[in-house]
């Protein structure tokens, strides 16, 4: 989806600072593949909820795992519309003027729908991908643990990138 396809009132419109926009999808994907933590924004009755999660990316969808109960899961059951943020290369660009300091960063923001994954093959593959972010070891997932874990796939509707200081 691009800016011209956005529904009226969508909060993620045209980027104000066009010179900072990342338009190359390969660069956006590189940011998503290189980070380990995603900030997931949810909304419940006009109340925002933000939570960091470990994740995996397959080029079109994001996966994360969770306990099967809790605030995040309860909200997603009522409203599966999500916003996510992934950021790397954080820093500060200093200036001689206090009002001219800026953030150095590469950031991806996207929107999508959270889907609870029930297929055991997809669930196992998602968990293996998440674990692969942290180690080269391979693990088997006992059925009891697998069934006690919620696996959520975010089907991405829109993804955009922005960078500054590069």
Pick the CATH number of 3-164 from 2.30.110.10, 3.40.190.80, 3.40.50.720, 3.40.50.300: 2.30.110.10
Q: Which two tokens stand for residue 46?
A: 């006009």
Is the confidence at residue 163, as pLDDT, over 80?
A: yes
Extents of the domains making up the chain: 3-164
Tokens 């306990």, residue located: 67
Contacts 24+ apart (CB under 8 A), 30-37: 31/86, 31/87, 31/88, 31/106, 31/107, 31/108, 31/161, 32/57, 32/62, 32/86, 32/108, 32/159, 33/57, 34/88, 35/86, 35/87, 35/88, 36/133, 36/134, 37/86
- At CA 126, angle to CA 109 and CA 21, rounded to 5? 15
Residue length of the chain: 166
Nearest to 116 by CA among 69, 160, 83, 159: 69
pLDDT recorded at residue 132: 93
pLDDT recorded at residue 8: 47
pLDDT recorded at residue 136: 92
pLDDT recorded at residue 158: 93
Chain segment 61-115, per-residue pLDDT in tens: 999 999 999 999 999 999 999 999 999 976 666 667 777 676 667 999 999 999 9
Nearest-angstrom CA–CA distance, 66 and 138: 20
């Amino acid at each position: 989806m691009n800016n011209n396809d956005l529904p009226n009132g969508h909060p993620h419109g045209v980027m104000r600072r066009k010179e900072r926009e990342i338009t190359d999808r390969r660069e956006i994907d590189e940011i998503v593949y290189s980070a380990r933590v995603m900030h997931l924004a949810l909304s419940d009755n006009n109340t925002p909820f933000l939570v960091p999660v470990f994740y995996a990316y397959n080029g079109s969808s994001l996966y994360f795992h969770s306990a099967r109960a809790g605030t995040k899961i309860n909200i997603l059951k009522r409203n599966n519309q999500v916003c996510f943020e992934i950021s790397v290369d954080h820093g500060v660009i200093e200036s001689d003027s206090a009002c001219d300091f800026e953030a150095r960063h590469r950031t991806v923001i996207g929107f999508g729908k959270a889907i609870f994954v029930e297929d055991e093959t997809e669930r196992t593959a998602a968990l293996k991908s998440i674990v692969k972010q942290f180690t080269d070891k391979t693990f088997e997932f006992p059925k009891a643990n697998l069934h006690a874990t919620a696996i959520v796939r975010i089907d991405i509707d829109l993804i955009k990138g922005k960078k500054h200081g590069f």
